[in-house]
Structure 1
Amino acid sequence: MADKKKILIADDFQLLREDLTELINNQRDMEVVGTASSGKEIVNLARNTEYDLILMDIEMETMNAGILATQEIREADPEAGIIFLTAHETREMIVTAMGAGALDYIVKGCEDEEILYHIRCALKGNPIMSNKIHETVMQEYARLQQSEKSLLFFINNISKLTATEREMIKLLLQGYKVHEIAEARSVEVSTIKTQIKG
């Protein structure tokens, strides 16, 4: 039989660490080779332990300790495989976590078989995400694409403005009133209004 895959676990809840360790160690194809209760500990453990995958909680000693640890681990080893196993289901947390470079995102409370399935898929190089997580990531991707299009549209239109028009927009964005801009430029208010409308 092939060597067992080596798993690290990072979670500040001792009972969960113990349960996950027991679950994984009862499998024929994987074993836990280390556990940590904080982001700092898992970073050190990852540096000094041979492993194939990390199961990482997000909220440990701080609200985003797991995300920061993931970024640090992946900075040292861009190929590091990390799955978030967390209680957080908010859109912001999912997007931030996946942006840190995680392979997958599992919400705590799921069945043991689901956790094992996610681990095995990630170990085979085919990480999966639940429908909800996948949908959230895809919605964020679509939102970012739309923002990019809006930004390009804005930049394109700004580039067509004259230097005077760009200066007026800058002053308006800084909170100057139309009559103040007219005074500063020694022109009529109607001239400024015409330039703004144009």
Structure 2
Amino acid sequence: MRDITELIRIIVAEDMDVLRDHFCKLISQEKDMSIIGRAASGKEVLALVAELGAPDIILMDIEMDVKHDGIMTAQKVLEKHPDTRIVFLTVHEDEETIFSAFDTGAVDYVLKTSSSEAIVQSIRSAHSGVVSVRPEVAYKIKNEFSRIRRNQEALMAATLLLSQMTPSELAILNLLLKDMKIPQIAKERQVELSTIKTQINMILKKFDKKRTKEVTALLRELNVTSFIQNRLGGGS
């Protein structure tokens, strides 16, 4: 008879009965693991944790009752029980889901189509604290860091450029960000249309863009509209 105090205590959370039974059967065959609870929703997970205490591992589907139910549940569990290890089960491989999962403090992310060996090994690795990120996940994380770095570089360049612009150019940018057309801007600024066109051409040249839509899209993406307004003294 196995000594339960030495086993990896696991809660399996999966809303599909067939899959939940499959994962439980798989885990029950392992001599070093014990299932202490089964759940079909995030609410049931929280109820089990409150009743039985924090498990060593929660093998949890990301989407159960609602979208990202598992992610929200993981956040609540880890707030009170930071030593519990979360291993997510999902059919999704998109970057947003992966980053949302790891952002909770989860230690692994396993596709439901993974082999039995891979799922069991993920549980053991999570319990031992030795978690290796699989190549496909590492690739997506690397791409995300590259994207963040590119955005940071673009933000620094745009901020420097904006800090060197004249008040008139900043005012025009601010109006362009409000989707105003050139004639409207000329009327608002009470200047000749040709003057606004000349100033816009200068702005385009500084940003190395051909269209004002490209400039405004960049500024919105980098979220620097408040920086422009602050430089204008909070004006519109």
Instruction: Name the TM-score, length of structure 1 as normaliser.
Output: 0.88
Cross-structure match for 1:170: 174
Q: Percent identity?
A: 36
What SS does structure 1 have at the residue aligned with 2:6?
coil
Instruction: State the distance in 2 between where 1:139 and 1:68 align.
Output: 25
Cross-structure match for 1:143: 147
Contact 2:183 2:193 in 1 (8 A): yes
Instruction: State the distance in 2 between where 1:111 and 1:71 align.
Output: 27
The offset of 1:184, in angstroms, is 2.2
Residue 31 (structure 2) pairs with residue 10 (structure 1)? no
Choose 174-183 or 71-80, whichever is displaced more: 71-80
Which one of the candidate residues 27, 34, 37 is aligned to 1:31?
34
Choose 55-64 or 42-51, whichever is displaced more: 42-51
Cross-structure match for 1:109: 113
Which one of the candidate residues 63, 67, 70 is aligned to 1:63?
67
The offset of 1:141, in angstroms, is 2.2
Per-residue CA deviation, residues 113-149 of structure 1 (Å, 9 max, x unaligned), is: 1111111111111112322122122212221222222
Which one of the candidate residues 192, 195, 198 is aligned to 1:188?
192
Residue 23 (structure 2) pairs with residue 20 (structure 1)? yes
Per-residue CA deviation, residues 1-43 of structure 1 (Å, 9 max, x unaligned), is: 8711211111012232223223223322221111111011112
In the alignment, residue 89 of structure 1 is paired with which amino acid? Answer: E
Per-residue CA deviation, residues 145-183 of structure 1 (Å, 9 max, x unaligned), is: 222222222222222223332111010121222222222
Instruction: State the distance in 1 between where 2:152 and 2:38 align.
Output: 41
Contact 2:56 2:127 in 1 (8 A): yes
The offset of 1:187, in angstroms, is 1.8
Cross-structure match for 1:197: 201
Choose 70-79 or 137-146, whichever is displaced more: 70-79
Instruction: State the distance in 1 between where 2:116 and 2:70 align.
Output: 21
**Structure 2 counterparts to residues 77-88 of structure 1, below 5 A:** 77-88=81-92
Which one of the candidate residues 46, 54, 74 is aligned to 1:43?
46
What SS does structure 1 have at the residue aligned with 2:12?
strand
Choose 75-84 or 4-13, whichever is displaced more: 75-84
Instruction: State the distance in 2 between where 1:19 and 1:69 align.
Output: 22
Instruction: State the distance in 1 between where 2:142 and 2:59 align.
Output: 23
Instruction: State the distance in 2 between where 1:128 and 1:56 align.
Output: 19
Cross-structure match for 2:127: 123
What SS does structure 2 have at the residue aligned with 1:61?
coil
Contact 1:122 1:128 in 2 (8 A): no
Contact 2:56 2:83 in 1 (8 A): no
